[in-house]
Structure 1
């Protein structure tokens, strides 16, 4: 009888272990983030959208990070619409980060969809609203149904009448070469995709602009128009890759000062037949930054959006005596400020004020020649 009791106890114990083993199986059920997704960036009272600034960054949207409690990545999709109910919308872009920039051109497209067509018979026809929202979803294709969508953010936009824009378009020449695709531009050695340099004013021949050449050995030429190769200028040297700073038509393919790539301030005078490239790496300096006027905080170049960016804690400072400035190569030879506090830049311009202390995303857009802009967005 005692042996039988021990045998029954062993059976019960084994069954208990088996039951525990089965109970330990885990079924994972992902849940939406209870806090959802929402914009956290400040916006301007209105955005003036012009053809001259079409390639500039208009706004950088920032949102909170979403946690779906799932072992997968989270993708964010920024959407823009001309209607508040998003019955139709455009996908501005997708990213794994919690921010994405929108250009003036992208806002203009939404504004035109909203009917801001500058009809003179309509009261204030060029002023209206466009809308943005962000969708977060688990994974990379949004197919699993686990997502969250923010409330719509409305922005006031203005499309100025043509005569109200900032004067006539500046004369331009163009640069094309072997570096374009690798540097975020459209096509190599293609006049139609040439990168513009702008003259100071109508009738002048002193052109300038900033160009990223992200290849080991850049080669390029200057073009009088973006319609073909007629009248192109190269370097007056003997072989491709020469850098004599003298233009010749047609000349050989021009190079860079040390033969390597970088982010360059490019200047050309088509009357004096001279040109120059100065490599630049940009930073922020000023008594609004943690290191004051003693040293720069380096920015990082974003080739997709063609802007320099930096996230930094700033203290409140009032311009023009205080604030920040942008400068290249940790020196004052090339520095940019804002004389009119209007978001457009001038070489050797005044300090830029900081309205209140906080953490900021700072952008510097040098992609539109002689129409350089910046943004300070409080996070």
Structure 2
């Protein structure tokens, strides 16, 4: 009986060993996904690339998940190239998620490889295309890697040519259903007014159309591009470049006038209702001075916002060497000026000072509630 028991135990051990051996030899065979891999995000018509914005988020590329039929994570490699042939390319990231953020700096490097630059003195173009593709793969041993690669995505970019004497600074434009532009990123969006001395602080006193069902507003750094965008996250003002995701909109409770201030350096902001019932509404406001087409003889009328009668603007306005001021109703009864040559600041009502002009072409915005103005250089592209 003892011999039979020992034989039975030995038989079970052999079966167990054989089963373990067979389990160890069992392998999964990876095979391409019949649905392939493709980009899913909608890109902008063109991306404006400026060196001061190197660290800003330009685009978040998104693609579909790939199923190779194996129980192992799939890796995704986002590649960029200056030439469509992809004979030379850069790996912008290798992730297991199906998305990856690309910065302005990443795109500038690819634009350089494409032979683009922003120097008006060279023959090189300042606009053209750069290219992206994504590779999905499993396996680490080159002989056993199974992979699929997407079609090549062509992206249009522009490097604005700098003009001597004009400094390009960060602009912030209003967008959202509480603003004049709505949720349109290129609809003559109203800029907010940068401080004349601190480039990180911005102001805006004006109407926001809040109320039930209104999401609010965000801030964009360049017209026509959703990235970078500024909003809030956990009560702090922040941008998509910082979050690696889109922030929430600033909420607006009522259709009313508010004073909005934001410091983008430390993420602080204030948003408080203001009473403007005693503020005058002007029939016209113009730009006058020897730096303007009418010199000191006649002002050039600005356009009044239909959304907010206290906001005025002039597009592609040419300033020459000289000075300028703002004045209302084609008369000197109400005029604004200061002695600063900054591209933005606060002009004083009734001030005897004139603003020195930096020659160039600008979009000029003026707020008659607080005298703030901003000159946005329009560089030929």
Larger gyration radius, structure 1 or structure 2: 2
| Superposition TM-score, scaled by structure 1 size | 0.43
| Superposition TM-score, scaled by structure 2 size | 0.42
